[in-house]
Structure 1
Amino acid sequence: MIRLGALAVGLLFVLNVLWGAVQPREAEAPNMAEELHKHPKQMVWAHNGPGNLGIFGTFDRAQLQRGFQVYKEVCSACHSINRVAFRDLADLGYTEAQIKTIAAEYEVATIDSNGEPTTRKATGADKFPLVYANEAAARAAQNGANPPDLSLMTKARHDGVNYVYSLLTGYSDDVPKGWNKPETSYYNPYFHSINIAMPPPLAADGQVTYADGTAATTDQYAKDVTAFLTWTAEPKLENRKETGVAVILFLIIMTGLGYLSYRKVWADVKKA
């Protein structure tokens, strides 16, 4: 009797499994965030070279200087570039005197002769100081958000250069119906979670005045500061490309010489 009961239970279990296997599955509820999320806009950048192929391109120094100005006047209020030293700005075309002037606008932590913590004016050898002393201080000042350091941002995100530009220009007040946006967040479909705590940093044309007469528009600001952040993430980009081109030319020449040597060495053998 016990065996019959066990057999019945087993058969019932098998039938349930088979029934579940043949039943059509309910369609998964669509993820609204995935539907709203947009891939970065594909832009043409000077450092990517002709055809945006990533070779032979060089940075536009004037654009880098404008981008640094946008960072300094807008982004530096919340975001650091702590991996960049002031003397590195020489790569942007700034003179030693200009670098000293820029560095002197910042204070860096140091220790005085009595061993007490104090501050001093930065020099060219110093790195750009942190905006906040630590993460706790950053979150306390930014309503719980922690503004990331921007030094390597274009390398830290997929398609980072286009991502940064798209994020800066992607804010919208037209929130899709049904999307839950907290009052403390902003709608930006290029951000991974759609809701972003950072207010639109480039709020209006004319926010930054360029000395070289370049159009002072939010789109131009976004392009310039994105180019600057590309440089901060890879300041030796141009050197790497030059080395790569030289290596490729060397390999082509050596391949040609190797082939000619092969023809010369084996010529008599082939005739025989």
Structure 2
Amino acid sequence: MVRAISSLIGAAFVFVLAIALFGTVKTAVEEPAAESAEHVFHLGPREADLPSAGLAGKFDNRQVQRGFQVYKEVCAACHSLKYVHFRDLTKIGYAEAEVKAIANQWVIEQPSINPETGEAATRKNAPSDPFPSPFINEIAARAANNNALPPDLSLMTKARHDGPDYVYSLITGYQNQPARLLKEFPGAKTPAGLHYNPYFANLNIAMPPPLTADGQVTYADGTKATKDQMARDVAAFLTWTAEPNLEARHAAGLAALIFIGIFCFLAWGAYQNVWRDVKH
């Protein structure tokens, strides 16, 4: 009796769910949701064509160093890099003396406590320190950026789909709103204080264009610093900060594929040897 009642209750539950699902599907077919401006005008990222892309991708240390220079002179004014330490720069070709000089000369110093008075103080950065945040806390960051919070960039290329391409496209994607958008969606005009960028999810971003002109950064290696070049370079740098062991991972994956290939060939050979005298 109990089993029959349980089965009946279960069948009723499934029936109700089926009715609800049918109603949802019917509504979606008969009354489809109106397209939004974001759905129509949002663009997928353009390829940055970085050397680190692909199964056998490797970092170009010269490019990554140029990207670090762009971050240092442009992005570091607003964006933190809290999961990266100054000493990590040795992995992209900087000598220890260079890293020490970079840390010591970094504009923003590390928060500290005066041992004599117990009051808040600052000290010079050391290679073992993480890159310091440009703001003392979130409130200060929002106050300086029209209430928008600049995200930390350490893992940005891992946090976004097609991360390196996304960063490159976003930085170079600022433009005026197309007339078609304003014609089809009159209420989608970019609000004051925001900037139109079709590579951003809702089309309007609080960050102003970070790269405004060619030559904004003077590269130490003499590379011509066009806006496109600077965008690619900083995308390469942020790819490295998010996954500094990318080359080792690619090498391990390639070795695993080679091993699997050899193993399959040996297994096939063993199979042929074991069953060679067996007639089918």
Q: Which stretch has the larger CA shift, 85-94 or 128-137?
A: 128-137
1:152 pairs, out of 134, 140, 155, with: 155
SS in 2 for 1:168: helix
Deviation of the 1:175 alpha carbon: 4.5
Residue 222 (structure 1) aligns with: 231
Q: Deviations over 1:106-163 (max 9, x none)?
A: 3112344445543221111111011112211111111101000001111111111111
Contact 2:48 2:232 (C-alpha < 8 Å) held by counterparts:
no
**Structure 1 residues 262 and 212, CA gap change in structure 2 (3 angstroms):** same
- Of 256, 262, 265, 1:247 maps to 256
Q: Specify whether residues 248 and 30 from structure 1 end up closer, same or farther in structure 2 by C-alpha distance, changes over 3 A only.
A: closer
Q: Distance in 1 between matches of 2:279 and 2:213?
A: 78
Which digits, 9 at most, give the CA deviation of each residue in 1:37-60, with x for residues without a partner?
111113322112xxxxx2111111
Q: Is the 8 A contact 2:110 2:123 kept in 1?
A: yes
Residue 101 (structure 1) aligns with: 101
1:42 aligned partner: 47
Distance across 2 between alignment mates of 1:267 and 1:251: 24
Aligned to 2:112: 110
**SS state of the match for residue 275, structure 2?**
helix
Among the aligned pairs, what percent are the same residue? 53
Instruction: Please give the TM-score of this superposition, normalised by the length of structure 1.
Output: 0.83
Mean alpha-carbon deviation: is it higher for 61-70 or for 26-35? 26-35
Instruction: Give the secondary structure class of the aligned counterpart of 2:45.
Output: coil
Q: Is the 8 Å Cα contact of residues 85 and 131 (structure 2) preserved in structure 1? A: yes
The DSSP-based 3-state class of the residue aligned with 1:46 is: coil
Taking the aligned partners of 2:48 and 2:100, their CA distance within structure 1 comes to 34
Matched with 2:11 is: none
- Correspondence 1:236 to 2:245: yes
What's 2:61 paired with? Answer: 61
Which residue type is aligned with residue 222 of structure 2? G
Structure 1, 76-85 or 205-214: larger mean CA deviation: 205-214
1:72 aligns with 2:72: yes
Summarize deviations over 1:75-117 as a string: whole Å, max 9, x none. 0000011100111111111000000001112311234444554
Structure 2 letter corresponding to 1:182 = P
Structure 2 distance, partners of 1:125, 1:43, is 32
Matched residue, 1:161: 164
How many residues are paired up? 245
Contact 1:175 1:187 in 2 (8 A): no
* SS of structure 2 residue aligned to 1:222: helix
Question: Structure 2 length normalisation: TM-score?
Answer: 0.81
CA distance in 2, matches of 1:233, 1:28: 37
Q: How does 1:127-146 map to 2 (within 5 A)?
A: 127-146=130-149
Letter in structure 1 aligned against 2:98: Q
Question: Does residue 1:202 correspond to 2:197, yes or no?
Answer: no
Residue identity opposite 2:175 in structure 1: S
Q: Taking CA–CA contacts closer than 8 Å with sequence separation of 6 or more, which of the two structures ends up with the larger relative contact order?
A: 2
User: Could you say what the CA RMSD is over the residues aligned between the two structures, in angstroms?
Assistant: 2.2
In structure 1, the partner of 2:128 is 125
Out of 221, 245, 258, the position equivalent to 1:212 is 221
Displacement, 1:271?
6.1
